[in-house]
Amino acid sequence: MDLIRHTLFRPARPAPAGRGVRVAVWLTVAGSLVYTGQKMYMAAHGEIGMPGHPAPADVQAQFEHPRLAQAGNAALGLVAALVAWSTIARWGARIPRWALLCALTLTAVLQVLGALITVQRADLDPAHLGWGSAYEAVAGGVGLAAWIVVLVSYVLRSRPRAGAAAKAHP
């Protein structure tokens, strides 16, 4: 029982993050906060979708409370920012590894899906390629890469050290 409790509730204490990892984390935090702002904007207008890309009328009609739905999405963006930040913050080292890995994996999967939608939504037809389309493609691609770096680096930095497990349970 002691071994289970020790394993489940032991703080992660990951190795310090390098500069590249910190940049990736801050890119994901910034992207998540931009998403949060966009969803709050749409909530204020009572519409489903993203600024400049509102959902079609038939989709809008499916939501009885679009403001609440968008506020919920904004809250998810804020949680995503906190999850990414926790991988490099001192306070995040107190979170058990398994809990942060679960939250990080779920958040990363949702962010990857969002990035894929953003890249797919970008109109990359050379005939009418504009700054908006280029921004969406670059932002989606950079966000996708940054989340992968955050997830993989945390997995590698937070692995239990071989000697630590032997010392804890002789």
Segment 39-50 mean pLDDT: 93
- For the chain, the domain total comes to 1
Residue 124 in domain: yes
Residue 125 in domain: yes
Is residue 166 scored above 50 in pLDDT? no
Residue 168 in domain: no
Residue 2 in domain: no
Neighbours of 54 (CB within 10 A): 14
Residue 41 in domain: yes
Q: Looking at residue 110, what is its pLDDT?
A: 87
Residue 148 in domain: yes
Q: Which residues contact 122 (CB under 8 A, 6 or more apart)?
A: 132, 133, 134, 136, 137, 140
Residue 93 in domain: yes
Residue 14 in domain: no
Whole-structure pTM value: 0.81
Owning domain of residue 143: 19-161
Report pLDDT digits (tens) over 88-127.
999 998 899 889 999 999 988 888 888 777 767 666 666 6
